[in-house]
Structure formats: C-alpha cells, structure tokens
Structure 1
Amino acid sequence: MAIKNINMAKVFSSANTKQSLRLVCDYIDADELEVNPENEIIYGKLNIDDLKAEIIRSGGVKNPIEVIKKDEKLIIISGHRRQLATLQAFNEGKLSSKKVPYFINDTIKSLDDEKMAIIGRNTQREKDFKTRFNEITILTEILSKEVQNEKGRFRKNIADRIGISEAELQRYWDYNKFCPEIREAVEDENSTLTFSKAAELRGLSEEEQQKALEIIKQKDDISTRELRNLKKSIKEGYNVEDLNEDYSPKQEDGKKDTPKPKNDKLSKSTNQDNIPNTVTNPKIKTIENSIENDNEDIELSAIETCLSVLNTKKNELDTLLNTIKDDDKGLKMLATIDYLDKLIAKCEKDLDIKLERGNINENNREGDI
C-alpha cells in the first residue's frame, strides 16, 4: 500500500544533501524490522513512554522508519523508538495494527556511514552527558580518518553535526584528560559533580584533580564559583577556608598574610533593595557616575561602562549556572561565560593602558582627548 502525506522534511532534516535517496515507501509489520546494534551502543536503553502515548493517540506511526538492507535483513537506521513503541502498544491491545511505514536508504554503504547516519538522525533528541559523549567519541574517530580535515575545520565539522558549539565540543574532548576518579564521579548518577561543573577543573594535573575531588566529596554540593576558587587555590597556591568566599594569598616564610582584594569577577551580588551589585574594582565607577561626569574622558568612560555591564551580566550567569541541572544547557552557558571572560579581560587591558598613558589618573584629573 503506497504512503501519502508523509512529513518527509522531518525525515530528511539531517540527511546529507549531497546524497540522493531512492525511496521505496510502504508498510511493514514492526517486528520484521531489526534493531541496529550500533544504536544501542550509542544511546543505550530507549525511553518510549511519551512517544508510545503519542503513537496511540495518532493511531499509529505517521513518519516512515528509515532502514538499510543488509544480508536480506531490514536494519533500522532511524526509528528504533517508533518501532519499539508500536510493538508495545500493539501487544497491550492499544493499537489494532503493528504495521509501520518505512523506506530503504540505499546510499549507506559502510559501518561508518551507518554510525554517522544514526547520530545525524538524532540531533533533536534531548541528550544526557553519556549519550553526547558517545556521539562525539564515535564521530571524532570516524572523521579523524579524513586526513584532509584541518584542525579548525575538523572541530567545526563535528560540532555542526552534533548541533553544539565548538567550545562545548572542546570540553567533551578534554573529558578524556580527567583522572579516572573524576570521570567516575561524573558518571555516578548519585554524584553532585556534573560534567558541566567538572569542566571547571580543566587544566589541573591528575594529582591536582584528585586533591580537588577530596575537597568536593566533603561538601553536600558545590557551586561553580566554589569550583573556580578551588581550582585557583590549588593552581596558584592559595589557602581556602571558605570556598564561597574569595581566597587569600598563601603565607610565605617570614611574611604575614596580606589580604587579597576581592576578585571582581567572582564578587557576590547583593539583594539589598533588589538592586544588582555593581563591579567593586576601584578603577570602575558606576555607569550613572561615568555618564553624568561631564569632565570624564569619553574613551575611559566608555571602557568603564562596558566593563561594568559585562561583569554584571557575567555575575548573573554565574548565579544562574548553579541552578541548571542539564549538562548540555550548562555547557552552553559556560561557553557564554567564557566569551564574557575574554571580553572582560580585553576591557581591563584597555583600561590599564588608558590609565598608564596618563590621559587621566585615578583622581579624575582631566587629560587630553
């Protein structure tokens, strides 16, 4: 029986446009289609509860299942959940037929093609850390065989196929650099150390990672700010009594501790009068004061204003990041925070250069424009 009114745009949303498919669409009993073992390796056990309810309401599967023909068998490329949901609903007596629409993709020739097609058809699904890591590991292995891929284009190619940013992709690649204990904690469902939080520890040696993990295990939960302070304390040799506060310099022999100024990038926001805290750097005035001072250097005022806005937005995202449980969303926000850090560093450098040139000093002395 021929199929009409199929949403083929959805079926081919992630197909390679350079390939042309010879479509043979028809209906078949769902149990005549075989599960692709590569799909289980990548995605593990399938959750079909929501999909099954939708298929029951619709009276069956509407979008065709994509298959390949191998050794006279029809192997599923895209539609494992649709097949399983149909069979369960039929066995429960909630569907009158177990037939599903399908088509054969005859352009997939190799196992690598199969793996890439399976991943490519699943870009819209919600992914946990392990699933996303499996996808990236497989694509990296396959695409690294293409010698013509330059490093930058290679990274972009994989990021585009997965549907994530290059910054997020780099974090997944860096996961392999974590010590076994960190990886075990991230993959433990009962652990509070998620992948997006663990990403803050990148750059530490294996010994330093283990030291950080010992401190993390002593806490019921740990915020992103605390992890950043912890990393700096380990990397730069600071003593940390309260990770939620900024650290003080480590005492040197024969010298007293010198209090370290609050880190502007990590300063807490105040809830007083529900007004966000502005940047505490003494070089930086509030936006209102910068604009209202007619004698202020215009360029310096612009730099200070940008720096204040950037720091305020970064502090807001830092606070919001601690409330996010989904790793993919957390990594996207981390990528945004990383970019804000770069902009802040550039503004601070421009501010220092401006002050050093003597156009205006910290006592608001008017200079040449």
Structure 2
Amino acid sequence: MNIRHRRHCFVLLSEKTCRIVVAGLILLPAAVAAAPHLEAPFAIHDFGWRDATETVTNRFVLRNTGDADLHLTAIKTSCGCTRAEPATRVIAPGAETVLEVHLALRGLQGQQRKSVSVLSDDPATPNLTLWMQGEARAAVCLEPPAFSFGRILPAEPPAAATVRLGGHLTATRMTKAVSDNPAFPVSLGTDGRSLLLGPPALTLPGAHRATVTVTLSCADRGTLSLPVYAWLDDLLRVHPEILAYRANQPAEAPVSRIVIVRRGAAPRFHVTAVRLEGVRGEASFQTRPDGTVHVRVPPIPTGTITPDAALVIVTDLSERPEWRVPIRIQN
C-alpha cells in the first residue's frame, strides 16, 4: 500500500472512529436530578350535610412519591372558618404525613366548598389544592332570613309575603310572632311553619324597618329574628337631600353643584322655579327628555352660608308645592 493509499485508509478509519464515538455519546442516558413529588390519594372530602353549629374535621394524607425530601412551605385556607396544620413539614421519599383540616360551619348555611392550598418545593406541583365540601343545615331557620318590600307607592300597596320555617328539625313549629313596629303587621300560618307579613301601613316617606321575633315550640331553642324593610316613596325624589360644604374649603375651591329631581309617588310634576335662600347667587334648572329636572346651584363660598340657607324648588304639586334642600357647612 502506498503512502497515499495509507493516508486514504487512515482518513477512512478516522471517519469510522468518529462516527462510532459520536454514536456512543448519543446513546448515553442523561443524568436526572432527584426531586420530591407531592400526592394526595384523596384530595376532596365530601361530608354530606351537617348541623350548622358543628365543626367538620378531616385528615388528608400527603405522600411524597419522589426521590428527595419534600418540604411543605405554606398551608393556605380560603376562609377564616378553616384551620389546617400538617403533622410534619418535611416528608422523606416514600413517606407520608397527615394534614388535619377543621371547617367551622357556625354562621354558614347551604352548600359549602372550601379550599386548602398546600405549597411545597415539588417542581411539578408546587401548589396542591384540597377541598372540603358539603351542606351546612341549621336546626331551625327562617327562609328567607330577612325580607324587603322594596319601594312602595302610596297608591299601590304591595302584596302580603310569606316566610317559611326551615331547618332539619321539621317537627318544630312557630308558636308566636311579634313585630316591634305596628306599621308592619305579622301573623302565623295555620301550619305553624309559615309567617305571614302583611303590607306595611306607612305614612311618612323614607326608609322603614321592623324586627319580627318568633318563638318556637322547642324549649331548648331560642327565638328567631326576622328583619323587615320597606321604603315609602315621597311625591318626588330629590338627590342629594342636603347640600354639604366643607368648613375648611379654600376660597378658590367652590364649584357648581347639581341637584336632581325625579318622579316619586306623583304621577307627573313640573318644576316652575328655583331660588336660593340664606346665600348669595342665582340657581337655574333644566328639564331633561326623561322627565328628570337638573337644578344648578352656583359656587357658594362657605363664609356666606347662613344657618337657614337652602335651595327652594317650586313645583306644580298642590299637595306640596315647595321642596327645600338645606345648605349646610360640614366640619
């Protein structure tokens, strides 16, 4: 074999050798770093239904199926009614611990679903969520727990309303119901499980309320309270009802204010004039296409406001032609 041939063979041999070496490098397995892995065999605890005075407890199992120590860095609950603390914060590979969760149902009603977040150094699942779910039932309760008649027009009294006695003690009955406001009549249904709220007999415009106290047939159960609300519309609705100005308002700060007048119990109305009393300035008004009236009050320096200052709105309502919006200094 001549030199050229030898060189050629050497080159060929070198190429084959390189190919073999490279192939060997590709086939070598990559080294995998050890890591923890957090698992919970049962991540949801459904407790069915329980009395709303109880505290539900469940012991969740937390398992490390990885090949390095698992560190629990934090336990977070979705509400203050839930407490959770693990038996240990470090779980060895193949080991497990218990996370005891307490859910206080007091004050809760109906379906509940509360979460517990387990934060750890598991690279795959740094935040594992556990769930406590079920229904909190009161032994006895009023359904609904409060009632509102809403806005009432004097010419259109609302219909009577019925409130039911609920809870899992179905043999319990209501024996007495008393309203602390005579304008809100109340009576018991013949079945002892219903409360009848009559239409409120209101005379003064504005917000009204009553508390109905219900006595039960169970001697070991206290009374139940039912708040009842209603709002009697005035002939007109004026907002704001008072124009308040800050006492320490800078001299250059006064700005115009807008008072809006809307229809209330009156089927229709017209504003015929506006004026200011007890302060300097001229007010003006504009009736909008939707029937509301916007009254513009000019800038008022607080030093010029007298104790009887007011915006007077004059209307065509015979029952009440003038409406006063007091102007006050607010400390």
Query: TM-score surpassing 0.5?
Result: no
Q: Normalized per residue, which structure has more helix?
A: 1
Q: Pick the structure with greater CA Rg.
A: 2
How does the TM-score come out when normalised to structure 2?
Answer: 0.26
How does the TM-score come out when normalised to structure 1?
Answer: 0.24
Q: Normalized per residue, which structure has more strand?
A: 2
